[in-house]
């Protein structure tokens, strides 16, 4: 699994990136997505994202994680992980 976060100024580009990420995963917060994909699919995501962003202005970070390492505070838009088995959720 990968946690993806982005900082993109341009609304049109940000919406395109959001739609790409929604094809592969679910939104956790406004600019954060969870992708449950294998590394080979991740490269497809990266290729699609690369055609949209401006490397001199935009930032997208892909962080690998394991479901049992998640600690969540408050109420996320969508729960991280498919079952939250072994994860710690405080609040929400």
Domain count, the chain: 1
Q: What share of the chain is helix, strand, coil (3-state, %, to 5)?
A: 30, 30, 40
Give the chain's radius of gyration (CA, Å): 14
Look at residue 51 and tell me if it is in a domain: yes
Domain that residue 33 falls in: 2-66
Q: What is the pTM of this model?
A: 0.77
User: 45 or 67: which carries more pLDDT confidence?
Assistant: 45
H helices then E strands: how many in the chain?
2, 6
- Tokens at 19, concatenated: 């739609």
Q: Residue 85: what pLDDT?
A: 47
* Residue-wise pLDDT tens digits, 69-87: 776 767 666 655 544 444 4
Q: Is residue 18 part of a domain?
A: yes
CATH of the domain at 43: 3.30.70.240
Residue 56 belongs to a domain: yes
pLDDT digits (tens, 9 = 90+) for 2-28: 999 999 999 999 999 999 999 999 998
- Beta strand 88-90 with 71-73 is parallel
Please indicate, yes or no, if residue 92 is contained in any of the structural domains.
no
């Amino acid at each position: 699994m990968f946690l993806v976060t982005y900082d993109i100024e341009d609304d049109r580009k940000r919406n395109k990136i959001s739609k790409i990420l929604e094809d592969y995963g679910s939104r956790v917060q406004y600019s954060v997505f969870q992708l449950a994909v294998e590394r080979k699919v991740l490269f497809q995501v990266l290729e699609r994202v690369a055609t949209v962003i401006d490397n001199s202005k935009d930032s997208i970070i892909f962080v690998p994680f394991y479901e049992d390492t998640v600690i969540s505070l408050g109420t996320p838009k969508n729960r991280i992980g498919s079952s939250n088995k072994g994860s710690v959720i405080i609040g929400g």
